[in-house]
Amino acid sequence: MGLDFTVLADYRGVLALGAWWTAVLTLAAAALSLGAGILVALALLHGPRWLALPVRGLAGLFMGTPLLLQLFLIYFGLAQLGIDIPVLAAGILGLGLHFAAYNAEVIRAGIGALEAGQAEAARSLGLSRMQAMRHVILPQALRDTAPPLGGNMIALLKESSLVSVIGITELVHAAQRGISETYRPFEFYIAAAAVYYVLNLLMEAALGRIERRAEASR
Amino acid sequence: MSDAPGRTPMIEVRGARKAFGAAEVLRGIDLTVGRGEIVAIIGPSGSGKSTLLRAINHLETLDAGEIRLDGRRVNLPLRGRAFERHVNALRRQIGMVFQQFNLFPHLSVLDNLALAPMRARGLDRQEARALATTYLERVHIPEQAQKYPAQLSGGQQQRVAIARALCMRPKIMLFDEPTSALDPEMIKEVLDVMVELAEDGMTMIVVTHEMGFAREVADTIAFMDHGRIVEALPPAQFFTAARTERAQLFLSRILGH
Amino acid sequence: MGTRSRAAACLGAASIGRKNALVLILTASMLGGCSGSYSWGWYVVLPTTAQGLSNIQFLLSGLWQTVAISLCAVAISAPLGLLVALPGLARNRWIRSINRIYVEIIRSIPILALMLWVHYGLPILLGINFSAFTSGLITLIVSDSAFTAEIFRAGIQSIDKGQHEAAEALGLNYRDKMRDVIVPQAIRRILPALGNQFVYIVKMSSILSIVGVFELTKKANELTTTIYRPLEIYTFLCLEYLVLVLIISAGVRRLERWLTIDRRA
Ligand SMILES: Nc1ncnc2c1ncn2[C@@H]1O[C@H](COP(=O)(O)OP(=O)(O)OP(=O)(O)O)[C@@H](O)[C@H]1O
Ligand SMILES: [Mg+2]
C-alpha cells in the first residue's frame, strides 16, 4: 500500500475544524490553568491555614494521576452525580485544572524567590500586602517564570489531544474520523502531526516574544 | 639556568600567538624552561598568563608559533582521533593544577587520584590505589583518602589536586594561581608542598601572586603584560633591577607601596 | 544548578513528599465523602463483599502491565536518551542538528497521536503488525527518549567547564572523561528530573488503554462498561496511580540520598 496524501484533500474541512478546536481548547485551558495556578499559589503561600491542606492535596491529586483519568472522572463521573456539563467544558476544565497544578508549583517557587526583599521594599513604600503582591511581586514572578510556564503551555497543547477520548472533535479525533472512512491511518496521522508541529511553532514563537519582552523589562 | 648543555630544554615556546576574536591575548611569546627549572610567571590580570599555561597543555589552540615538550612538538595541526591520541599522550606528561582545584566531587580522594592512572596508564585498581596512597603521603594527607572533596578544607583540596597530577608521573607541572582561592592560613601548606616538589627537581611553571614564593623558589621570574613576556630574570635581579617601567610599576603595586 | 532547578520547574516538580502522601489520600477520600443527594455505590470496590473483592482483583490485574511497560520503557529510553543527548553537545553544527531534529519533532507530537501512528500507521509502512503492548512500548520509548535526552543534555551542560579541563589535563580520552567524570556527576544532578519523567511515563501509560493494552485504565474502562459506576471505579483507579507515583517518588528520593551521601557535605 503506497502513500497517497491526496485523500486528505476531501477531509481538509474536517481537519481544519479539528485544528480550530484544538487551538480553542488549548487557549481556553491555558487561560484557566494560569488563572487557577496563580490562585492556588497564593492560597498556598498566603491563604488561611485550613485552606492550605486541601488545596495542596487537590493539586497533588491532579499531578499524581493521569490526565486521561481526570477527564473520565470529570465527564463521566460528574454525569453520574447528576451534574451534566457539556463535553467541551469538561475538556477545558480537565486540561485547565491539571496544568493549573503544575503552574502553581512554578509560580509559587517564583514568588518565593522574590518575596523577602521585594515585599519588604514594597511594604516600606506604604503599599498594602495585596497591593504589593499585585503590583510588585506577581508581575515579577510571572516574568521570571515565563520559560517554565511556557514549557507547561506547550505540554498542554499536546495533551489536549487526550480530550478526543471523551468525544471532542479536536485534531486527533478529526484524523480518526477520516481514517475510519478511508482506512488511511498513515497519511492522516502524519497530517495531524504536521499540524501539531505548526501549532507548536506558533506557540513557541508567541512565547519567545513574551519572554523577550519580559527579558527587556529587567 | 640549570639546563645542562647539549640537552633539549623541557619546554620551548616560540612565537606563540593567540587571539579570542579581536582580542590578542598572546602576542608572540618566547619562553624556554630547562630540566628542573622553576619559572614563576607574574603579571597583571588579563595579561595572558593562564592562556599561555593552557596552550602548553593544549587546552587552548595557538593561532601561530610552536611549543615543544622535551623536544616533541605539542601543537600539531591534527584533527579528529589523531589529534585526540596525540594530545592525550602529551597531557599525560604534563601535570596541571588549577586555581579552583577542579577535583571530581563524586569520587573519593583516593579515586580522584587513581582514575587517570587506571584509565590513561592502564594500571589495575590495586596498583593505581597503591600509587595514589604514595602520593597522598607526599602531600601529607594520607588520612584523608576515603573522604570526598567537599569534606576537605581548601588547602587540603589543592594538595589532593597536586597529588592527582603527580600520579601521572609528569615531566613538568603547571600551576595556575594555585593559592589564589585559598584562605591565608592555608596558603602556606600548599606552598610548602610546592617547595618540596621543587627540591626534588621537578620542572615547574607557576603563575602566582605570591612574591615570597617566587623570590625564594623560582630560578626565573617572567613578567607578562599585554600578551608578551616583557622581562625574564633571576629573582635577585628582577626584584632589584627590573629594567622596564611596567615591571617596576607592577612590582611597586603588588609589594604594597 | 540553574538548569537543574529549571528542568525541575518545567516538569512541574511532581515528586510528592512523604508528608503529602497522607494529605493526598485524605483528600481523595474526602472527595469521596462529600456526596449531597447522590447515593454512592462504593460496594463495587469494597473488599468486604465477594462482588467488590472480585472487582478489585479485576482492576488490580492491570497493575502488572502498567508496571512492566513503564519499567521496560524507562530502562530502554534512559540509555537511548543519553545516546541522543551526546551529539547535542558536539561543536559541529551538523552533528548537533541530529539531536535537535529528533528532539524537536518527537516533543512536538502528542503522545496519543504518536501511539495511534505507531499502532495503526507503522504496520502499513513496514508490513508487520505490532501487538498493542509492543506499540505502546515503542511509543513510550520514543517519546520518553526525547525528553530524557533534553534532561541529559541540560545536566551535562551544567557541569562546570573546570571538570572537563581537569579530566583532559590528566590525559583522559573523551570516552573515559564522559563515563568516569562528567556523566556520573550529571546523573546525580538530574535525578529529580529523571524521577519526574518516570512519573510522567507511568501516568502516560494510561493512554495505552486506547489501543487495547490491558493495563490499569483499560481494566477500569472494562469494568465501567459492565457496572455503570464510573465515579467509584475511576476514583479507585486514581488511588492506584497515586500509590504508584508515591512509591516512585519515595524511591527516587532514596536513590538521591544514597548517591549524595557524604559527597557534597
Ligand atoms: N575562552 C576565551 N574567550 C574569550 N576571551 C578569553 C578567553 N579566555 C581568556 N580570554 C581573555 O583573554 C585575556 C587573557 O586571559 P588570561 O586568563 O590568560 O589572563 P590572566 O593573565 O591569566 O589573568 P588573571 O590574572 O586574571 O587570571 C583576558 O582578557 C580574557 O578575558
Ligand atoms: Mg589566570
Per residue in B202-250, pLDDT (tens digit) is: 999 999 999 999 999 999 999 999 999 999 999 988 888 777 888 888 8
Minimal CA–CA distance to C111: which of A155, A98, A195?
A155
User: With contacts defined as CB-CB under 8 Å, which chain A residues touch C248?
Assistant: none
**CATH code of the domain containing A42:** 1.10.3720.10
| Contact call for A and B: 3+ CB–CB distances under 8 Å | no
| Alpha carbon nearest to ligand 1 atom 1, residue | B20
Neighbours of A23 (CB within 10 A): 18
Centre of ligand 1 to C-alpha C162, Å, is 15
3-state secondary structure chain A: CCCCCCHHHHCHHHHHHHHHHHHHHHHHHHHHHHHHHHHHHHHHHHCCHHHHHHHHHHHHHHHHCCHHHHHHHHHHHHHHCCCCCCHHHHHHHHHHHHHHHHHHHHHHHHHHHHHHHHHHHHHHCCCCHHHHHHHHHHHHHHHHCHHHHHHHHHHHHHHHHHHHHHCCCCHHHHHHHHHHHHCCHHHHHHHHHHHHHHHHHHHHHHHHHHHHHHHHCC
What cell numbers appear for B102 in the block? 577542579
Per-residue confidence (pLDDT) for residue A25, from 0 to 100: 93
Count interface pairs A-C at CB distance under 8 A: 165
Per-residue confidence (pLDDT) for residue C161, from 0 to 100: 92
With residue C103 as reference, give the H or E element that holds it. Answer: helix C93-108
Does the beta carbon of B46 sit less than 6 angstroms from any atom of ligand 1? Answer: yes
Name the residue of B51, B56, B209 to mutate for ligand 1: max ligand atoms within 8 A of Cβ: B51
Instruction: Tell me which residues of chain B have a C-beta less than 8 Å from any C-beta of chain C.
Output: 54, 57, 59, 84, 87-92, 94-96, 98, 100, 102-106, 115-116, 119-120, 147-148, 150-151, 161, 164-165, 168
Pairing of strands B11-20, B23-33: antiparallel
SS3 content of chain C, % helix, strand, coil (to 5): 80, 0, 20
Q: State the smallest CA–CA distance between residue C23 and chain B in angstroms.
A: 36
| Residue C16 falls inside a structural domain | no
Residues C205, C70: Cα–Cα separation, whole Å: 7
Q: How many domains does chain C have?
A: 1
With residue B97 as reference, give the H or E element that holds it. Answer: strand B94-97
Touching subunits of A (3+ CB pairs, under 8 Å) are C
| Residue C41 falls inside a structural domain | no
**CATH code of the domain containing C210:** 1.10.3720.10
Q: Which residue segment(s) compose the domain that C67 sits in?
A: 50-264
Close Cβ partners of B11 (under 8 Å, ≥ 6 residues apart): B31, B32, B33, B56, B67, B68, B69, B172, B203, B205
CA atoms within 13 A on the CB side of B214: 31
Residue B15, sorted as left (phi over 0), alpha (psi -120 to 50) or beta, turns out to be left
> Which of A42-51, A104-113, C7-16 has the weakest average pLDDT?
C7-16
Residues A132, A114: Cα–Cα separation, whole Å: 12
Ligand 1: nearest atom to the Cα of B43: 21
ipTM, two decimals, is 0.85
Averaged pLDDT for residues A188-200: 88
Q: Which residue segment(s) compose the domain that A153 sits in?
A: 5-216
Minimal CA–CA distance to B175: which of B229, B126, B144, B218?
B218
Instruction: Please answer yes or no on whether A186 and C124 come within 8 Å at the CB atom.
Output: yes
Centre of ligand 2 to C-alpha B176, Å, is 7
Close Cβ partners of A209 (under 8 Å, ≥ 6 residues apart): none
Residues B228, B49: Cα–Cα separation, whole Å: 9
What percent of chain B shows pLDDT beyond 90?
A: 74
| Residue C55 falls inside a structural domain | yes
Instruction: Please answer yes or no on whether C24 and A64 come within 8 Å at the CB atom.
Output: yes
* pLDDT tens across the length of chain C (265 residues): 333 333 333 333 334 455 565 666 666 655 555 555 567 778 888 888 888 888 989 989 999 999 999 999 999 999 999 999 999 998 889 999 999 999 988 988 899 999 999 998 888 888 888 999 999 999 999 999 999 999 999 999 989 999 999 999 999 999 999 999 999 999 988 988 999 899 999 999 999 999 989 999 999 998 988 888 888 888 899 999 999 999 998 998 888 888 775 554 4
Cα nearest neighbour of C16 on chain A = A60
Instruction: Please answer yes or no on whether C203 and A172 come within 8 Å at the CB atom.
Output: no
Q: State how far Cα A111 lies from the chain centre.
A: 20
Q: How many domains does chain A have?
A: 1
| Residue C3 falls inside a structural domain | no
What cell numbers appear for B75 in the block? 601543537
Minimal CA–CA distance to A73: which of C16, C63, C236?
C236
Close Cβ partners of B236 (under 8 Å, ≥ 6 residues apart): none
